[in-house]
Amino acid sequence: MNCFIIVLGKIGIDLYVKCKKNKIFKNIIIFNRNKNSEGAKFCKKNRFSYFNTGIAGLVKKIKKSETNVIFDATSASASVININKLKSYLKDIFYINLTPSKVGDYVTPYYSLPRFTRKFNLITCGGQSSVPLILEINKKINNKIVYVELVSSIASLSAGKATRENIDEYIINTQMAISRLTKIKNNKVIINLNPSNPPVNMMNSIFFEINNKLSAIDYTKIIKTVKLINQRMKIYIPGYNAKLFKTEKNNIFRITVRVIGQGDYLPKYAGNLDIITSSATHLAKLIYEKKNYN
């Protein structure tokens, strides 16, 4: 299987390193259009397979290859342009969108692959870390959740140019994915960039409101569910850790998710970015296994 990564930045380079570690790819090539960028210099220095020919260069490689996975780690607006240029090749490629645009079908690799799609949308780091918790907990307590609020807090230093430009898209895409995947349409998403130094680790706080008082049995079910989700998430996001907190109100509880990155290229405090690159490589592994072992 061949892997192509569009753009060159923090996420793109970290993704390249993770794909190398994954060992399922025959070729891994990274594309951008600025040969003088810091990322391009890093790739050349470390002898990565890198081209500054952008989408045009990528398309030429597609024609010469067999099974392909394309990771789009550009921006929300650029991903729309990119998919339009790539749509005629979707019979032969899998497109994985790491940007907070609406391109592709929402998916979290916590679950098995959806059928009949070649365009995957990884939502956002907030979506990846929260959707399994919301969905599984709601099942266990018999669909009692009536409102969910997700507050993401990340280190300012982990928010690059594209992240800052895509704040609105982050909020909209995360809310839409929560509504669609968990069926809880009454939800809200907030993101904070924390300028503290030293940088803080990424943290998501998820507030749940239910339609009546939480029972002791409900709490037991939630604790067991959180434990199971931690175990399964750590398979592909090793630094993932969710913890339940009670509140003063007996119909509201909070789950805090902290993610410490693996430090492949990105700093360990950038857990928000590590969530996306880890999810992307694990999704590619699921695609590989489905094509080769099913």
What's residue 64's pLDDT?
A: 66
For the chain, the average pLDDT equals: 91
pLDDT band of 116, cuts 50, 70, 90 = low
What's residue 228's pLDDT?
A: 97
Of 3, 19, 43, 125, the active-site residue reads 125
Q: Give 250-275 pLDDT, tens digit per residue.
A: 899 999 999 999 999 999 999 999 99
Q: Is the pLDDT of residue 65 over 70?
A: no
Q: Give 6-39 pLDDT, tens digit per residue.
A: 986 789 999 999 999 988 998 999 998 888 888 8
Question: In sequence order, what DSSP letters do the residues of 237-272 get, joined into one string?
Answer: -TTEEEEEEE-SSTTEEEEEEEE----SSS-TT-HH
Q: Are strands 105-106 and 119-121 parallel, antiparallel or unpaired?
A: parallel
Q: Is the pLDDT of residue 135 over 90?
A: yes
Q: Does 3 qualify as catalytic in the annotation?
A: no
| Contact criterion met (CB below 8 Å) for 154 and 141 | no
Lowest model confidence (mean pLDDT) among 34-43, 69-78, 79-88: 34-43
Q: Of residues 174 and 292, which shows the higher confidence score?
A: 174
- What's the pTM value of the predicted model, to 2 decimals? 0.93
Domains assigned to the chain: 2-123+274-293 (3.40.50.720), 125-267 (3.30.360.10)
Query: Cα separations (Å) of 21 from 15, 261, 264, 282?
Result: 10, 15, 10, 11
Q: Of residues 144 and 112, which shows the higher confidence score?
A: 144
Of the chain, the percentage scoring pLDDT greater than 70 comes to 96
What's residue 178's pLDDT?
A: 97
Here the tokens at position 171 are 């909020």
Task: Provide the b/e sequence for 203-218 (b: ≥16 CB within 10 Å).
Answer: bbbbbbbbeeebeeeb
